Structures are given as C-alpha cells and as structure tokens.
Amino acid sequence: MTRPGPGTTAGAKAPAYLALTRAVSPRLAECELTHLARTPIDVPTAFAQHHRYEQLLTSLGCEVRRVAPAPDHPDSVFIEDTAVVFDDVAVVTRPGAPSRRAEVRAVEEALTPLRALVRIVAPAILDGGDVCAVGKRVFVGRTTRTDDAGIAQLRTELAPFGYSVRAVDVSGCLHLKSAATAIDDHTVLLNPEWVDAGLFAPLETVAVDPAEPMAANVLRIGDTLVYADAYPLTRARLEARGQVVHTVAATEIAKAEGAVTCCSLVLRAQR
C-alpha cells in the first residue's frame, strides 16, 4: 500500500519522477550500525528533516509516494536498500542485515505495478545502497551487506536489459554509495580513501574534499543534485563544475549511518 506524500497536488502537471519513501521509524535510534559509534538520535528532528527532504523532492519534480510505514523496523526509512530500480526493470533485494529483510515485502508490492520485477534470492545478499548505476554501467560494492553471490545474481538479471555489472571493493564505510555516487551521466563523486577511483574508468571522477569523508553521497533528480548541508567544501567543488545543488539537513539520518540516497527510490515516470 502506498500513500500520497507531502506536496502531492491533484491536477498539476504530471511529475517527471516518482520517489518512493518510507516514514522514519519511531525506533530509528535502534538502527543497525557498522562503522559508526552509536550517538543519541533526536527522532522528532529526524521526522522533520525527512519531511523537508520529501518536500524538496516534490519541488524538484517528483511525485512523492510513501510506502506503508514499518514502525517496528528501525532502518525502514532507508528504502533504497530494498530495491534497485531502472527504467526497464526493478530488482528486489535480499538485504545483508537479517534485521532488515522484512522491510522488502511492502516495497515489492509498491513496485509491482511500476516495473517488471526480478529478485535476489537466498543465500545471496545485496543492499541497494551498494549499487551505483551510471547509465548502463552498474557498479556494485562488495561489502558486509553485499556478497559475490548477490553481485553475480544482479549481473545475470540485468544482462538481458543491456547493463554491465562491475564489482568494486569498498572499505571504511557501510555501502558503495557512502563512497561513490553519480553526479551526471559520465561523472562519479567519490572518496578515494574508501574506493579505488580507477575502477570507474572511463568515467570521470571528482574527489570529495578530504575534510569531508562522508560527502560522496548525492542524490540525482534529473540534472539537479540533492545533498546534505554538512559538506560545504565538497558542495563548492560541485558548484564550481556548474552543478545545481539543493541542500537538506540530514544530521539524524547520518547518525543512523544513512544519507540522502538511502531515503528514496527514484523512478523515472513512465507515461
């Protein structure tokens, strides 16, 4: 079941994108943590920051549609990990953290009318946060959440659609998309301490400012970027390249080892 999100306007011009989101769980503070120490999370602030994130997506041309909430699943706001969506197919994942596997079902139901579905099946594991697609090139992090079997299944499922899948070793962070995300169709923003920039060739790469190691996660909405407001030095690098960057506060999500891409599944609307 999905529900209209904030800012959805009946009768307005059809949005170019659909963004599936999921409410912040009241139990967010019980989230999985892998590389971060647990620090207090202000859940009301997390609700407010998430709401503003959804409003920003709406303002950038997305119809925001909330998947049914999962209040007993602390990490369920991180909907990105439950599926990987392309224009022609969506891959329902099998998350690497057992605590997160029950999050998948409702997302699968929401995607059923929107895309042809394929699935990662046991014992393989794969988190959507480990998948960075740049056009038909798909880079997949080999992490605690995604194994070689998951990468192999993804490669097999995507091959008929013309996608190539490349495994990428990641260290120092949870997911590949903590270390590298696409900022346009031929450029990847990355932290070279966490992932080898050479693996993305022939794509261009841009490094985060060394003072901002967490700054490689950016969400593309068409030609614009949604970015956490905590990384002004790297933002300046992006803007110097002519990128249009919209910022949001994401402090509480960051404490839960999440970032802006984690909180939505963005689909190009199909007419």
- Decide: residue 68, CB within 10 A, 0-12 exposed, 13-18 middle, 19+ buried: middle
Q: Note the helical H segments in the chain.
A: 43-59, 104-111, 148-158, 176-179, 232-240, 251-255
Residues of span 9-38 touching ligand GLY by CB under 6 A: 31-32, 34
Q: How many residues bind ligand GLY (CB under 6 A)?
A: 10
Q: Is the peptide bond before 123 cis (omega within 30 degrees of 0)?
A: yes
**Smallest gap from residue 226 Cβ to ligand GLY (A):** 18
- Residue 60 or 180: the one with the smaller Cβ distance to ligand GLY is 180
Q: Phi and psi (nearest 5°) for 146?
A: -140, 125
Q: Site for ligand GLY (CB under 6 A): which residue of 258, 259, 264, 266?
A: 258
Catalytic residue positions, numbered: 175, 262
Q: Site for ligand GLY (CB under 6 A): which residue of 91, 194, 257, 263?
A: 257
Task: Check: CB of residue 137 under 8 Å from CB of residue 203.
Answer: yes
**Smallest gap from residue 145 Cβ to ligand GLY (A):** 7
Q: Sign (positive/negative) of CA torsion 265, 224, 143, 23?
A: negative
Residues of span 69-88 touching ligand GLY by CB under 6 A: 75, 78
**Smallest gap from residue 43 Cβ to ligand GLY (A):** 14
What letters, b where the CB count within 10 A reaches 16 and e where it falls short, cover 232-265?
eebbebbeeeebebbbbebebbbbbbbbbbbbbb
Task: Provide the mask over 93-112, with x wherever binding to ligand GLY is found by CB under 6 A and - wherever it is not.
Answer: ----x---------------
Residues of span 148-207 touching ligand GLY by CB under 6 A: 174
Q: Sign (positive/negative) of CA torsion 226, 231, 234, 235?
A: positive
- Residue 94 or 235: the one with the smaller Cβ distance to ligand GLY is 94
Q: Is 256 in the site for ligand GLY (CB under 6 A)?
A: yes
- Residue 75 or 157: the one with the smaller Cβ distance to ligand GLY is 75
- Residue 97 or 133: the one with the smaller Cβ distance to ligand GLY is 97
Gap between the Cα atoms of 151 and 148, Å rounded: 5
Q: Is 156 left (phi over 0), alpha (psi -120 to 50) or beta?
A: alpha
Q: Is 252 in the site for ligand GLY (CB under 6 A)?
A: no
Nearest residue to ligand GLY by CB is: 32
**Smallest gap from residue 79 Cβ to ligand GLY (A):** 11
**Smallest gap from residue 30 Cβ to ligand GLY (A):** 10
From residue 103, give the alpha-carbon distance in Å to each of 38, 79, 207.
Answer: 22, 8, 33
Gap between the Cα atoms of 64 and 86, Å rounded: 17
- Residue 41 or 238: the one with the smaller Cβ distance to ligand GLY is 41
Residue whose token pair is 């995300």: 181
Residues that bind ligand GLY (CB under 6 A): 31-32, 34, 75, 78, 97, 174, 256-258
